[in-house]
Amino acid sequence: MIRHTLLIRMLFVCLLLLLCNQLVAQGVAVPGDNCKPVSQRTQEIGCWILANESMGQLTKPEVFWHLDTYRTRSAAQADKGPQGVVVESFGKVWLMTIADEKWRSAHGNRVAEIGPLFVVTGKMYSAQLMEAVFTPGMTAAAHIHSGPEAWYAVGGETCLETADGHMQIGRAGGPPVIAPMGLAMHLTAIGNEQRRSIVLILHQSSKPATTMIHNWTPKGLCQNKN
């Protein structure tokens, strides 16, 4: 009887491991996965933190995320202000700046300005910038942020479902995707192409950028978008 029980348990563990391996192979995120520092990157697929730098105290209730490209990192560094971050992503050098809507870099090639992003005035904020590469069907488990999230789509499509019952789709050349602070969300890479995005979480410096949650279940609004 004991041997029979042990055998059943071993078979269950083997099946669970096999299922997890199949999910990873198919590009489907295992619940609990989140972004990792780019220094730990061992593959293209995933969510990789490029930078997490202080923006200081924000004094206005809304700001914009400005994206400019440069030919060299040194040129971008020369233009970087106190609320700017220089990163390299998808084969380009980027200067990412948090500023008013009309702000412009001195020498950069303007790619986009995304906003408004609503923040709490008087609070210290940090900009966490990430490169996200998802295969179609890959998901990110339910989570919240301590500040607004936005992303710039380089390629592919991503569907975002939020706890307020809304859905947004981000695609290259389409409208920007913005999710407010504290709103539960779940995203899915849809379509037939690899999802490639640069992601910003403008979070309160005293709080984690991302917190995984288990008290909200998505309605599956993105399931029929593939």
Give pLDDT tens digits for 161-216: 999 999 999 999 999 999 999 999 999 999 999 999 999 999 999 999 999 999 99
CB-based burial label for 110 (10 Å; 0-12, 13-18, 19+): exposed
Domain residue ranges of the chain, discontinuous segments joined by +: 29-225
Angle, alpha carbons 174-178-183 (nearest 5°): 145
pTM: 0.84
Judge contact between 83 and 97, C-beta under 8 A. Answer: yes
Give pLDDT tens digits for 109-151: 999 999 999 999 999 999 999 999 999 999 999 999 999 999 9
Token pair of 183 as six digits: 């709103």
Residues in the chain: 226
**Superfamily covering domain 29-225:** Jelly Rolls (2.60.120.10)
- Integer Cα distance of 47 and 36 in angstroms: 6
CA distances from 65 to 51, 81, 199 (A): 15, 13, 11
Give the residues across from 169 on adjacent strands: 159
DSSP secondary structure of 137-190: T-EEEEEEESS-EEEEEEESEEEEEETTS-EEEEETTSPPEEE-TT--EEEEEE
